[in-house]
Structure 1
Amino acid sequence: MALSRSSDTRLSVSVMTHPDRLADAARVQRALGPHADVRLAVDPVPDGPRTALRSARLAFAQASGRNATHHLVLQDDVEVPDGLVDSVLQAIGTHPDAVLSHFVEWGSRTAVLARWAALTGASAVPVINPYVPTVALSLPTGLAVRLGRFLDEEARDGEADDQAVLRFVRTTGTRALVTVPNLVEHLDLPSITGNSGHGARRSAGWGATLPPGFDATVLEVPRLMPFFAWNTGTALVLDTADDVPATQRPALECLVEWGADEERLRRVFTGAVEATSAGRDLFGIVPEEQFHAAWLTAVAMGAVQRSQWPESVADLAVALKAPDGPAAAALATLIPGALRVFADVDALLRHRDDLVSIVSAGMVWGAGNLRVPALPPA
C-alpha cells in the first residue's frame, strides 16, 4: 500500500539497482519499513554500458497504477534514516507540484545554495547544477510516469540520467528544488556507473528529520556565487545569470576588488587554523595551499551573504555555536566536499569542529570586512 501522511498525499517508492547490488537495494527496502510500497527497479541489461539510465526508466515508470499521489525514487547506495517517508511527505506538502531532490552532493553548485539556506533559514533551494540530483527524488505520480516515458523515448546515447531529468524539467517547466536539510546520505559504495574518479560524494548537510520550522521558503539565488571547482582545485566566483567559463573569475581577484588584501587574507587563514585543536597538523591531511584556496570560498560566501541577506549576518556566529545545528552541519562539509580528490575526507571529518571553526572564521571575516558591488538579480 502507498504510505500517507494525510488522506491527500500518498507515496509509492522505487529503488534503482543492479543485479550486483541487490543486497544493497534490499537494505534500503528494509529500512523503509514493512508498510512502505517499495519496488525494485533492476537494470534490465546489466552487462551493457555502465549507466543508471536503464534502471531510472523503470523506476519512474513504476509510479503507474499504485494508488499514490507522489513517487519517490531512491538509489541503492543511500543511507535511509528512520522516518524518511514521513519527512518526504512533509516536504511534498510544501511543494506538491515540484520535483524535489532530497540529496545534493557536497561539492556541487547547488550545495553552495544549500549552505546559505541552512544559514538563512530557507527550507529549499533551486537546482542550479547542470543536472538534477537523482540520488533521492520525489515528484507527482503523473509527472513520474511522464518522466519514465521521456527517459525511454528522448534520452540521448550516453546521457546520464540526472542530465536527462534536467532536460525533462526544463521541457515541462517544472520547478526542481533541493530540500534543506537533505534527507538521505550517499554511501561510498563502489560505483557501477564510472563515477569512482569523482571522489566521495556525500551530502552538503543532512538530518534524520526535518526541523520544526521547515516550510515553503525557497532561497533566492544571488547574482554572484563563490564556488570551488573540486576537479581542478580552483576557487571561483560565478555569475549565476550567465554561468559559462568565460564569466567565471578567480575568487582571489574578486576578494581584492571587494576590499581584501592578499597578505591579510593569509594571516586570517593562518590564525583560524592555528586557533583550532589540530592546528597546523591539518596541513598533514591536505596541503596548505589547497586548503587556503578552498577557504577563500568561505570568505567570499560571507561577503555575498552580507550583500544578499544582510539581516542574517548578525545571527551567523550564534547559529554556528550549536554544534549539531544545521548551520554547523552545512559548513562542516565545505572543505571535505571541495577537496575530496585532493585529501582523505574521512581524516578531515575527524576534525569536524575544527573545520567548522575555520570556515566560519572566513565567512565572518568576509561578511564584516568586504563589500560586494550591487548587481541586478540573477
Structure 2
Amino acid sequence: MTPIRLSGAVMVHPRRMEAALGLVRSARRGFLDIVLDPEPEAPVSLRTAMRAWASVPRWATHHLVLEDDAQLSSGFAEQAERAATAAPDDAIAFYSNWNARNGGAVRLGALAGARWVTSAAEYTPTVALMLPADIAEGFAPYARRHGDEWPDDVVMARYLSHAGVRTLIAVPNLVQHGDLPSLSGNDFHGLRLAACLAPDPGDRPWCLADLVDPAVVPYFEFGVAQCQITYPGQDRRLTVGSRRFAPYLGIDTVRCSAELVQALTSDPGLAHSISSALPSRTVEELWNAAYVLGFLGQRHGGGDDVEKQIATWRSDPLVDSALHTLGPGGLCTSFAGQDLFRLSGLLGELTWRGVCAGARMKADAQRGQRTTGRKQPSLTVSIASTNPSLVHCLVNDLTDRGHQARGVFLDDEEVGETISSLGGTDVLVYALCTDASDPPLPHAQRCEDVLSHARSAGIGHVVLMDLSEGNADWPTSGELVPDSPAVTRVRLGTPYGPELTGPSPINSLIHQALRRQTLILRSEARFHLVHVWDIAELLDQLLRSGSPTSARCDLRHSRPVSLRDLASVIGEVVHPVDTVFTCEAPGDHRADRDAEASDATGPPQYGLAWAPALDLPEGVRTVAQWLAYEAEDRQ
C-alpha cells in the first residue's frame, strides 16, 4: 500500500486571520497552509473552497481542508493519517452538525460502538474534510461548471456523488465548530456544534469493518423529529415526519405516547422542569426523536439482551455525549447558546429515557409481543389525478403508513375508461387539480363523471379532493344527498411539499433563495396552501374511520398566502435574500377575488375534525431541504 502523505489547508477570511493562525499553531508543525478568500467582501464561500481544494501539493496522496473556525482534537493530524490509511479511496469528514442528518447517523454509530458511518443525503460537512488528492483536485473544475451559486458544502456533496466517492464520518467527531459569527449568513441556523465530540480520541483503531451504513437516519432539527429513509431497491432517499416513519418502521405510536406520559408522571421534578422550558409539542417531538433513535440503535456484538445493551450504552461516554447533543441541537434556533447549555442536562435525561424506551419496544417487537398500536387497514385505495407527481407522493406516503395504495394517472379524455377499470378498489381518491381560470361546469362535470364510473366499477367510497383555488362551483346551501358510492367532498387548496415537481412558484422561489438569489415577484396571486404530508394525514384518517359516510368539507384552515408573504417566510427559514416586486398587468387576479369570496362565505361544513399539522415555515423548510439534498434533478 502506498504510504499516506497528507497535506492540509485552512480556508481563511481576513477578518478571521487571528483565529486561523491559532488553528494552524494547534496542529502539527508545517501541516496546515493558509488559503485566503480572494473576494472577502462577497458572501459566498465557494470561491475560497475552490482555491483550498486546488492547493494540493504534488507529493500529497490526500488533502484535508479546514474552515477557519475549526477546533482540532488532540493528535488530529496523526488520526487523520490513520483514517486515510484505513479508507484511502473515501472522503472522510471529521465533523458533523448536531442537528443534521449526518449528526443522526453519527449517533447511530455511537450506539453501535462503530468507528465511522456512511453519510446521509444532505450537504457534506466541510468544517473538516479529507479527500484523496486526485478527487480534491477535481473539485474546482466541477464547481466552475456546476456551482451555480450554491454553498460549497452542497456543491461538495453533489461533486462527490458525481465522482462516485463514498463519504464516511468519523465516530466520534474529532473536530469542533467554533462559536464565531457566520461569514455566509448562516447565523440564523443558531449555535452549530458537533454531534459527538472526543477531544482526546485515544488509540482506538480505524477499520472499515467497524462501519455503520444506516438505511434510516433519525434526527431532530428545528424542534421536529424526522427520519431520512433509503428505500430498499430504489435509488431514492426521502425525509419524512413521525406520522409516516413510525408506521413504516413498525413503531407502536400508542405505546410511544403512553411511555412519554409515564416518563413524566414518574418524575414530577423532570415533568415540571420540562413543561416550564418547552411547549408540549416540542417535548413530544424530542421524545419521538429519542424513541426512534433507540428503536434503530443496535450495539455491534450486543446480542438480543436489551437490558445488557442499555447497560453498555449507559457505560459508554461517547453514547452519553451523542445523546446529550440531540435536544440542544434540535432547539438551537429557538434558544441562545447559554440557555441550551443550561437545559442540556434536562434534555439529555429525557433523551436517555426515550432511547431506552424505544430500544425496549424494538426488543418486544422482535420477540413477537403484541402491541397496542392501530391495526393495519385491509382496504385497497387508488389515487387518481392528472398530476402524476401528486399521485406519486400520496401513494408512497400511504404505503409507508400501511395502506394498500396504487396510483392512477388520468388523461382528461380517458377518465371514464380508466376509472371503470379499477375493479377491486375499495376507496377511490380523485384529486382534482385545476387552474382558477377553469370554467366551473367542466370542473363539476369531471366530478360527476368520476362518480358515475366509480359506481359502475363497484367502488364503495369516493373521496373527491379539490386541490385548486376558487369557489365558483361549490354549493353554498342545501343538504347532502345520499350517494352510492359514499362520497366525501373535500376542498383543500393548492398542494405543495417534497417530491411535488412541475411548474411551481413556491419551488421556484425556494430554489432561488437556496442559491442566495434575489426573489422577483411578478404577481399578487394568493394561495390556500396545503402541505402534501397533511393531505396524506387526512386520507389516512378517512381510510381508518370505518364505515364511509357522505360529507362535504372546506378544510382550508388559513387565509390565502400572498407571494409577498411567502417570500417573507422563505427569507426567514431558507436564507435571508432581497425581494423585488414587479406588479403584473391589471385584470389577472381572479384567484385573489375567488379566494376572498371563499373566506367571506365558505361552503357548509360536515364532519371531519381535522387540521393541518405543518405551519407554513415548517412546510417551506421541508421543500427547501428536499430541493437541496434529495430531489432527482438537484444536480
Q: TM range, normalised to the smaller chain?
A: 0.7 to 0.9
Distance 1:86 1:290, change over 3 A: same
Separation in structure 1 between the aligned mates of residue 267 and residue 51 of structure 2, nearest angstrom: 49
The answer to whether residue 181 in structure 2 is matched with residue 175 in structure 1 is no
Q: C-alpha displacement at 1:271, in angstroms?
A: 4.4
Separation in structure 1 between the aligned mates of residue 237 and residue 175 of structure 2, nearest angstrom: 28
Instruction: Select 2:134's aligned residue among 137, 142, 151.
Output: 142
Q: C-alpha displacement at 1:8, in angstroms?
A: 1.3
Q: C-alpha displacement at 1:112, in angstroms?
A: 1.2
Distance 1:7 1:362, change over 3 A: same
Distance 1:238 1:15, change over 3 A: closer
Which secondary structure state, in structure 2, belongs to the residue aligned with residue 177 of structure 1?
strand
What is the match of residue 43 of structure 1?
A: 37
What is the match of residue 155 of structure 2?
A: 164
The answer to whether residue 154 in structure 2 is matched with residue 154 in structure 1 is no
What is the match of residue 90 of structure 2?
A: 98
The answer to whether residue 361 in structure 2 is matched with residue 366 in structure 1 is no
What is the match of residue 321 of structure 1?
A: 314
Q: C-alpha displacement at 1:237, in angstroms?
A: 3.8
Separation in structure 2 between the aligned mates of residue 102 and residue 259 of structure 1, nearest angstrom: 35
Q: TM (normalized to structure 1)? A: 0.85
Instruction: Select 1:127's aligned residue among 115, 119, 124.
Output: 119
Q: C-alpha displacement at 1:372, in angstroms?
A: 6.8
What is the match of residue 300 of structure 1?
A: 292
The answer to whether residue 176 in structure 2 is matched with residue 185 in structure 1 is yes
Comparing 212-221 with 358-367, greater Cα deviation is found at 212-221
The answer to whether residue 233 in structure 2 is matched with residue 239 in structure 1 is no
Distance 1:356 1:248, change over 3 A: closer
Separation in structure 1 between the aligned mates of residue 8 and residue 225 of structure 2, nearest angstrom: 39
**Where do 5+ consecutive residues of structure 1 fail to align?**
1-5
Deviations 1:236-272 (A, max 9, x none): 3442223336x55526854996324265133134147
Matching residue's letter, 2:40: P
Distance 1:103 1:264, change over 3 A: same
Deviations 1:105-154 (A, max 9, x none): 01111111110111112111111132111000011122211223323x22
> Does the CA contact (< 8 Å) of 1:59 and 1:73 recur in 2?
yes
Distance 1:11 1:253, change over 3 A: closer
Separation in structure 2 between the aligned mates of residue 116 and residue 263 of structure 1, nearest angstrom: 22
The answer to whether residue 6 in structure 2 is matched with residue 11 in structure 1 is yes
Q: How many residues align?
A: 360
Separation in structure 2 between the aligned mates of residue 124 and residue 306 of structure 1, nearest angstrom: 14
Point out the structure with max Rg over C-alpha.
Answer: 2
Instruction: Select 2:213's aligned residue among 208, 216, 220.
Output: 220
User: Where does 1:197-216 land on structure 2 (aligned, <5 Å)?
Assistant: 197-211=188-202, 212-216=204-208
Q: TM (normalized to structure 2)? A: 0.52
Which secondary structure state, in structure 2, belongs to the residue aligned with residue 235 of structure 1?
strand
The answer to whether residue 112 in structure 2 is matched with residue 117 in structure 1 is no
Deviations 1:189-241 (A, max 9, x none): 1001011111111100011233525422220213x44333x23x322344222
What is the match of residue 25 of structure 1?
A: 20
RCO higher in structure (CA 8 A, sep ≥6) = 1
Separation in structure 2 between the aligned mates of residue 44 and residue 362 of structure 1, nearest angstrom: 48
The answer to whether residue 57 in structure 2 is matched with residue 64 in structure 1 is yes
Q: C-alpha displacement at 1:102, in angstroms?
A: 0.5
The answer to whether residue 82 in structure 2 is matched with residue 87 in structure 1 is no
**Where do 5+ consecutive residues of structure 2 fail to align?**
369-398, 401-635
Matching residue's letter, 2:154: Q
Q: C-alpha displacement at 1:157, in angstroms?
A: 2.5
Distance 1:273 1:109, change over 3 A: farther
Quote the sequence identity (%). 26
Distance 1:320 1:39, change over 3 A: same
Distance 1:213 1:350, change over 3 A: farther
> Does the CA contact (< 8 Å) of 1:61 and 1:148 recur in 2?
yes
Distance 1:170 1:195, change over 3 A: same
Q: C-alpha displacement at 1:173, in angstroms?
A: 0.7
Matching residue's letter, 1:194: G
Distance 1:356 1:251, change over 3 A: farther
Superposition RMSD in Å: 3.1
Matching residue's letter, 1:208: P
> Does the CA contact (< 8 Å) of 2:113 and 2:299 recur in 1?
no
Matching residue's letter, 1:319: T
Q: C-alpha displacement at 1:99, in angstroms?
A: 0.6
> Does the CA contact (< 8 Å) of 1:119 and 1:327 recur in 2?
yes
